[in-house]
Amino acid sequence: MMLPFLIIIPLLGAFSMPIMSLLGEKARNAWAILVSALTLGVASKVFYDVWSTRQLVVYTLGANTPLGKGVNFPIRILWEVDLFGALIALTIAFVGFLAVLYSIEYMKHDTGLDKYYTLILTLELGMLGIVITGDLFNFYVFLEIMSIASYALVAFRNDTWEGIEAGIKYMFVGSLASSFILLGIALLYGQYGTLTMSYLAVKIAQNPTLVGRVALGLLMGGLLFKSGAVPVHMWLSDAHPAAPSSISAMLSGLVIKAGGIYALTRIAFSIYATSINIKTVGWLVIFFGCLTLIVGNAMAVVQTDMKRLFAFSSVGQIGYILLGIGIGLAAYGTKIGDIALAGAIYHTVNHALMKALLFLTAGAVLHEAGTKNLNELSGIAKKMPFTSFAFLVGAAAIVGLPPLNGFASKWLIYESSALYNPFLAAIAVAGTAFCTAAYIRVIFTFFGAPSEAVENAKEPGKAMIVPMLVLITAIIIMGLLPWQINDRIMLPTVDMLKDQLHYVIAVVGGA
């Protein structure tokens, strides 16, 4: 089976990177690109398998029936992939490959690059592990792998004060949030005695107790931190500007989705679906989603630092995804809930592509002009036309202009929230208004008269242009076929996600 190779290949690549870098710089770059390209191949094969047969892929690390022939249940660490996990894994592998390709030229002037490539492959490995796992403690281990790699990467440029300060703030509060998640997992173990997600779902359905709900609350608190919801979003606005731009693209596009949104959805839908009052949990997520929409997009309007503006805009878009998931939980089982959940999943994939493009563009501008202060960067479109065009496509996609891919997912969220409760749709549209205002300020700056700081700017080299070109093509193609993608990929994902029965039966086997 191809599933264990999704972890084996990045793991082998990451740990043999210091040896490969002894052979020279070109060998190290070639090895990094080779490993991430192979991971992309394996991820697309896994996605195609799960999509074409619509069946869960279960992989046990060890023997299938360790207790002998009578008991059918593998008491092991399991990996269980359904369409949602396979889709996010494909997005992670795709954007990861483009980020590695981009950083070959972007990080040329830094030292210690073998540790950088090791860390970026470990980051990709941690995220891939989160989306394919079916066991709660395995999820915690992969979450910590991803988090520790991202702490080290945010503080990578340790000769500047910005990297160190952002790294310290992100690390301390991030470890505290991971401790909350571990506390929730420990309480679940103490109450129910098992940590396999499917078996835990069966046990919670038989015996819902107060401890189970406290554990859900702690897990939700920690995971809302990792996904960047308001009021715990402040690490995001410090850490994403301070990281190198290829890492910013991976952090803002993938880490907050895989470690936060995916885990929250998996725990809410596949473990706890029918055992709690799902309307309460849904309204809680909707409340945090609405707060995030307003505060995230509003703070993006008044920033002067370009990457900090993009980071706050990321916070705002997470508000849309949380709103979609909340309505999917609160209206569980109805058509409105399905549409909202499809919109949220579609927006996850879309925002990964759009925000990666925006951060790669910001990296190109920073690499050439040397500053990211918007007050000095006027008129860059004359010197770097391709980069400005890429920024224009990315900004139009995030705002939700029709021929691009942001339109379809935002439309689904607007419609489902308008049908569920019109007040939520008003908040969502207000969020889009703030988002448009923020990006218009940046566009106006880029297309003005040239200032002194951009006199020496020119187009970046080929290794930085190709990822931006690939992302622009992907955004435009996905934008021309929105309803086909929705009907063929997103709606079946929602069906498999809500189908807790098959998720459980694939492992427990009808026992």
Partner 1 sequence: MIPLQFITAFLMLFMGFYAFLYKRNLLKLILALDVIDSGIHLLLISFGYRLEDGTLPTAPIYTGYETLKGTPMVGPIPQALVLTSIVIGVCVLALATALTINAYRHYGSLDINKLRRLRG
Partner 2 sequence: MFGYWDALYFIYVLLIGLIISYLVFKWAERSSMGTRRTGNGTKIFLSGEDEDNVVPQFEHLKGYFTGRHTMWGLIRGINRMFIAFRREHTGLLSDYVAYLFITVAIILGVLIIWG
| Contact between residue 475 and residue 393 where contact means Cβ atoms under 8 Å apart | yes
* CB closer to partner 2, 129 vs 228: 228
Min separation Cβ 8 and partner 2, Å = 36
Binding site residues, partner 1, CB under 8 A: 137, 140-141, 144, 148, 151-152, 155, 158, 161-162, 164-169, 171-172, 175-176, 179, 182-183, 186, 189-190, 238, 242, 303
The option from partner 2, partner 1, none interacting with 456 (CB < 5 to 8 A, set by class) reads none
- Rounded distance, CA 198 to CA 202, Å? 7
CA-closest candidate to residue 317, choices 409, 419, 416: 409
Question: Looking at the DSSP assignment, which residues form a beta bridge with residue 190?
Answer: none
How much helix, strand and coil, in percent to the nearest 5, is found in the chain? 75, 5, 20
Contact 249, 95 (CB under 8 A): yes
Question: What single letter denotes the amino acid at residue 417?
Answer: S
Residue 120 CA to residue 107 CA, distance in Å, equals 12
* Per CB under 8 A, 449 contacts partner 2: yes
CB 126 to partner 2: min, Å: 22
CB of 294 to partner 2, least distance (A): 9
Nearer to partner 2, 231 or 509 (CB): 231
β-strands 78-81, 57-60 pairing: antiparallel
The candidate with the shortest Cα–Cα distance to 123, out of 233, 232, 217, 35, is: 35
Site string for partner 2, 164-203 (x = CB under 8 A): ----xx--xx--xx--x-----------------------
The piece of 32-40, 43-51, 152-160, 207-215 that touches partner 2 (CB under 8 A) is 207-215
Rg, the chain, Cα only: 22
Select from 372, 249, 236, 398 the least CA-distant residue to 311: 236
Kindly tell me which residue out of 440, 477, 501, 511 binds partner 2, with binding defined by CB under 8 A. 440
Strand ranges in 395-468 using DSSP code E only, listed in sequence order:
none
Among 54, 108, 279, 458, binds partner 2 (CB under 8 A): 279
Residue 345: name its binding partner from partner 2, partner 1, none (Cβ under 5 to 8 Å by kind): none
- Please choose, from the candidates 277, 296, 285, 397, the residue with its C-alpha nearest in 3D space to the C-alpha of residue 344: 285
Give 80's strand partners.
58
User: Which of 444, 469, 473, 511 is close enough to bind partner 2 by CB under 8 A?
Assistant: 444
| Binder of residue 411, out of partner 1, partner 2, none (CB less than 5 to 8 A by kind) | partner 2
In the complex, minimum distance from the CB of residue 404 to partner 1, in angstroms, rounded to a whole number: 31
For residue 452, the 8-state DSSP code is G
Residues 308-367 that bind partner 2 (CB under 8 A): 339
Closest CA to 307 of 236, 398, 413: 236
Which residue number, 187 or 424, has a Cβ lying nearer to partner 1?
A: 187
Q: Residue 476 has which token pair?
A: 């435009």
Per CB under 8 A, the list member of 443, 466, 489, 508 interacting with partner 2 is 443
Judged by CB under 8 A, the residue of 127, 152, 154, 301 near partner 2 is 301
Regarding 213 and contact with partner 2 (CB under 8 A), the answer is: yes
Minimum CB distance to partner 2 smaller for 165 or for 499: 165
Q: Does 423 interact with partner 2 (rule: CB under 8 A)?
A: no
Pick 41 or 450: Cβ nearer partner 2: 450
Residue 366: CB minimum distance to partner 1, A: 17
Q: How far, in whole angstroms, is CA 250 from its chain's centroid?
A: 8
Among 17, 99, 374, 384, binds partner 2 (CB under 8 A): 374
SS3 66: coil
Q: How far is the CB of 488 from partner 2 (least distance, A)?
A: 12
Whether residue 342 contacts residue 361, with contact meaning beta carbons closer than 8 Å, is answered with no
**Nearest CA among 413, 409, 386, 380 for reference residue 397:** 409
Q: Is the peptide bond before 4 cis (omega within 30 degrees of 0)?
A: no
Q: Is 108 helix (H, G, I), strand (E, B) or coil?
A: coil
Instruction: Write down how long the chain is.
Output: 511
Compute the least distance from the CB of residue 113 to partner 2, in Å.
30
- Partner touching 148 among partner 2, partner 1, none, CB below 5 to 8 Å by kind: partner 1
Judged by the rule CB under 8 A, the positions of this chain that interact with partner 2 are: 168-169, 172-173, 176-177, 180, 210, 213-214, 216-218, 220-222, 224-225, 231-232, 234-235, 237-238, 276-281, 284, 288, 295, 298-299, 301-302, 304, 339, 374-379, 402-403, 411-412, 415, 437, 440-445, 448-451, 480, 482-483, 486-487
